[in-house]
Amino acid sequence: MIDNLKNVLLFAAEGPLMVPPQELAEQISTAVSTAAGPSAATNFGYLVAAVLFIMGIKGMTHPRTAVRGNLLGALGMLIAVLVVLGGEQVNWWLAILGMLAGSAGGVWLANKIQMTQMPQLVALFNGFGGIASVLVAGAEVLRESAPDSDVSVAGFAAGLTGLIGSVTFTGSLIAAGKLHELPQFKKSWSFSGQQWVSTALLVVSLILCWEMTDGSGGEYFLLVMVAFALGVLLVSPIGGADMPVVIALLNSYSGLAAAAAGFVIDNNVLIIAGSLVGASGLILTNIMCKAMNRSLANVLFAKFEASGPAADADEVYAGKIKKTSADEVAMMLDGVQRVVIVPGYGLAVAQAQHVVRELADLLEASGVTVEYAIHPVAGRMPGHMNVLLAEADVPYDQLKEMDEINPTFSQCDMAIVIGANDVVNPVANTDPTSPIAGMPILNVSEARTVVVIKRSLSPGFAGIPNPLFAADNCLMLFGDGKQALVELVAAFKEN
Amino acid sequence: MDYITAITIFVLAIFIGFEVITKVPSTLHTPLMSGSNAISGITLVGALLAGSGFWGGLFGFLAIVFATLNVVGGFLVTHRMLAMFKKK
């Protein structure tokens, strides 16, 4: 056992980049299978499940292998459940009834949901995972004879499970409600001094976690209540545009809650699967923060300041806006070689993905190269825009990430911006005092011509005017996104 | 199980997570989230093992329902999404 662990540590010490994940997984598995706890056969089954989870996530590294990866993950879960049912003391009636009810709900939700609603569904599922971990730790706290010798660590782990899981639960429900635009969330729930109340609640819950180390568990349910309130207070002041960060963070929490529950009940597969998800959520959180050029603390605790004096729309736009029409754009499209489409969330709201693809098909049929430039925060959750376009049968090899497409805008004949604003605002690069200063943007202005399809000159979420609209090579096609595209397609067909 | 072993497993699994997940392209970040979310439903294993007495049983039962929702719904909706990703 000790030797095995030593090997694992030696492997890890070589640095994460040098160790292929599979090899690391094998090393871990050796350590796992020799650890004490449940029976050897059960632990071996858990090991198989854990390896399948890792291979499953590995499959997600390419669209070609992703379907299989997801199925491997599901297979891992099935094996883990069968191992428990086959090898451990289980209350069969509760297990079967509970799993039937959960499956029915899961199938219903998964089939009913529209792709635009994916962020709130993921938020909801995060919440369910969180509360499940809270309940598992709660049941363990209630167990009269503690199964483990080391009461203090188990108690502390139970406390952490209660804290993280409960914050995940209420935080996710609030996030889902906001994303679903429920009327209850129309008005901001925030009040002055909210951060201080949140901080106080966090301190109280950490003290309660510490109190749990005596192993009596009496504080657990008080802790859960405090953490429920904390989850509500943390998420309720955060605005819609910051939701990608919040969902990614809650995703991470739901994993960490499962891992903490693994410590409570001495279960390796919970620890491994939970920490994988925890890492995944943290990486996505980090990517989203970078894409907005804001720190996590800033997203969570600071109000996004709509800039004051610098933003004078009239001054930026006066006399420089060039209006265009669908016919004119269609004529210009005759004879271009490369077109880049820049979709924003407005496109999805207008349900215009299918018309966009129709336009792209027509262009391609006449020999034009068409690509899509996807900003990391283009949707309401990481990667959301890609899913929305995939739903409209846009092939994934046409979807380009920001870093990949930015150097190529200068070789682009026309960039068509639909329902995006702040992510193409050059002010981010030029004005260090602007609220979006330093945010990475899509450099559409380097294209020969930019066509912006937009209802009006109204500002985006950042509340600032966009000098791109006044640029020499920029044409404004005013109107509803979908309607404008339908007209454009019709005009292009006539030519 | 001693806790040093458990913490070792935890730390190394996080390393694996970082290694594997940083290679996932942003195109697949939404399915990655919903898929990994389904994996975090592993707490179902704990839920199945939980429960003695009335309250323990009730908590265990509710945990089974929520965790299964998470697992089944998560994997299904991920599959639905991934099936839409096609090459030209």
- The answer, yes or no, to whether residue A5 has pLDDT greater than 90, is no
Is residue B42 in a domain?
A: yes
- Tokens of residue A201, six digits: 């609640």
Partners of A280 on chain B (C-beta within 8 Å) are: 17, 21, 32-33, 36
Nearest chain B residue to A80 by CA distance is: B45
- The answer, yes or no, to whether residue A130 has pLDDT greater than 70, is yes
SS (H, E, C) A76-102: HHHHHHHHHHHHCCCCHHHHHHHHHHH
Instruction: Please give the CATH architecture assigned to the domain spanning A313-494.
Output: 3-Layer(aba) Sandwich (3.40)
The CA distance from B44 to the nearest CA of chain A, in Å, is: 8
Query: Can you give the pLDDT at residue A239?
Result: 79
Partners of A155 on chain B (C-beta within 8 Å) are: none
What span, in angstroms and rounded, lies between the C-alpha atoms of B63 and A80? 16
The sheet with strand A338-343 has its strands ordered as: A399-401, A369-374, A338-343, A414-418, A449-454, A474-478
> What share of chain A in percent tops pLDDT 70?
89
Instruction: For the beta carbon of residue B65, count every other beta carbon within 10 angstroms.
Output: 27
What span, in angstroms and rounded, lies between the C-alpha atoms of A253 and A281? 8
- The answer, yes or no, to whether residue A17 has pLDDT greater than 60, is no
| Banded pLDDT at A12 (limits 50, 70, 90) | very low
- Tokens of residue A399, six digits: 């979807």
The CA distance from A245 to the nearest CA of chain B, in Å, is: 12
What span, in angstroms and rounded, lies between the C-alpha atoms of A229 and A398? 44
The CA distance from B22 to the nearest CA of chain A, in Å, is: 7
Whether the model pTM is above 0.90: no
Query: Can you give the pLDDT at residue A153?
Result: 82
Could you read off the pLDDT of A222-277 as tens digits, one per residue? 999 999 999 999 998 887 778 889 999 999 999 999 999 999 988 999 999 999 99
Query: Can you give the pLDDT at residue B30?
Result: 95
Nearest chain A residue to B68 by CA distance is: A102
For residues A187-202, give the mean pLDDT: 84
Return the minimum-mean-pLDDT range out of A142-146, A222-226, A276-280: A142-146
Instruction: For the beta carbon of residue A461, count every other beta carbon within 10 angstroms.
Output: 18
Is residue B18 in a domain?
A: no
Partners of B54 on chain A (C-beta within 8 Å) are: none
Q: How far is CA A379 from the centre of its chain?
A: 10
What span, in angstroms and rounded, lies between the C-alpha atoms of A272 and B14? 8
Tell me if B44 and A28 make a contact (CB, 8 A cut-off): no
Query: Can you give the pLDDT at residue B23?
Result: 93
- The segment with the largest mean pLDDT, out of A87-96, A195-204, A239-248, is A195-204
Tell me if A110 and B76 make a contact (CB, 8 A cut-off): yes
Judging by beta carbons within 10 Å of its beta carbon (0-12, 13-18, 19+), is residue A346 exposed, middle or buried? buried
Q: How many domains does chain B have?
A: 1
Tell me if A110 and B80 make a contact (CB, 8 A cut-off): yes
Could you read off the pLDDT of A367-379 as tens digits, one per residue? 999 999 999 888 8
Q: Are B34 and B73 in contact (CB under 8 A)?
A: no
- The answer, yes or no, to whether residue A396 has pLDDT greater than 60, is yes
Return the minimum-mean-pLDDT range out of A11-25, A87-101, A265-279, B20-34: A11-25
- Tokens of residue A76, six digits: 């891992």
What span, in angstroms and rounded, lies between the C-alpha atoms of A156 and A151? 9
DSSP code string of A383-445: THHHHHHHHTT--GGGEEEHHHHGGGGGG-SEEEEES--GGG-THHHH-TTSTTTT-----GG
In A310-381, where does DSSP find H-type helix? 313-317, 326-333, 345-349, 353-365
Is residue B2 in a domain?
A: no
A400 CB contacts (<8 Å, ≥6 apart)? A371, A372, A373, A374
- The answer, yes or no, to whether residue B59 has pLDDT greater than 70, is yes
Among A32, A110, A396, the residue with its CB nearest the CB of B73 is A110
Q: What residue type is A210 in one-letter code?
A: W
Query: Can you give the pLDDT at residue A15?
Result: 47
Residue B32 belongs to what domain range?
Answer: 26-82
Strand partners, A371: A340
- Tokens of residue A375, six digits: 């900003």
- Tokens of residue B21, six digits: 């997940």
Q: H-helix or E-strand containing A113? A: none
The CA distance from B4 to the nearest CA of chain A, in Å, is: 10
Nearest CA to A62 out of B20, B41, B16 is that of: B20
- The answer, yes or no, to whether residue A137 has pLDDT greater than 90, is yes
Query: Can you give the pLDDT at residue A149?
Result: 53
Q: Which of A18, A27, A34, A57 to mutate to test the interface with B (most CBs of B within 10 A)?
A: A57
Please indicate whether residue A31 or residue A487 has the higher confidence score (pLDDT). Answer: A487
Partners of A221 on chain B (C-beta within 8 Å) are: none
- The answer, yes or no, to whether residue A36 has pLDDT greater than 50, is no
Judging by beta carbons within 10 Å of its beta carbon (0-12, 13-18, 19+), is residue A323 exposed, middle or buried? exposed
What span, in angstroms and rounded, lies between the C-alpha atoms of A211 and A208? 5
Predicted complex: ipTM over 0.85 = yes
Among A27, A122, A139, the residue with its CB nearest the CB of B33 is A122
Q: Which of B20, B76, B79, B86 to mutate to test the interface with A (most CBs of A within 10 A)?
A: B20
Is residue B21 in a domain?
A: no
DSSP code string of B28-82: GHHHHHHHHHHHGGGHHHHHHH---HHHHHHHHHHHHHHHHHHHHHHHHHHHHHH
| Banded pLDDT at A9 (limits 50, 70, 90) | very low
Tell me if A284 and B33 make a contact (CB, 8 A cut-off): yes
- The answer, yes or no, to whether residue A4 has pLDDT greater than 70, is no
Which residues of A are catalytic, by number? 422
Q: Considering chain A, tell me which residue range(s) the CATH 3.40.50.1220 domain(s) occupy.
A: 313-494
Tell me if B30 and A95 make a contact (CB, 8 A cut-off): no
A205 CB contacts (<8 Å, ≥6 apart)? A163, A223, A226, A227, A230
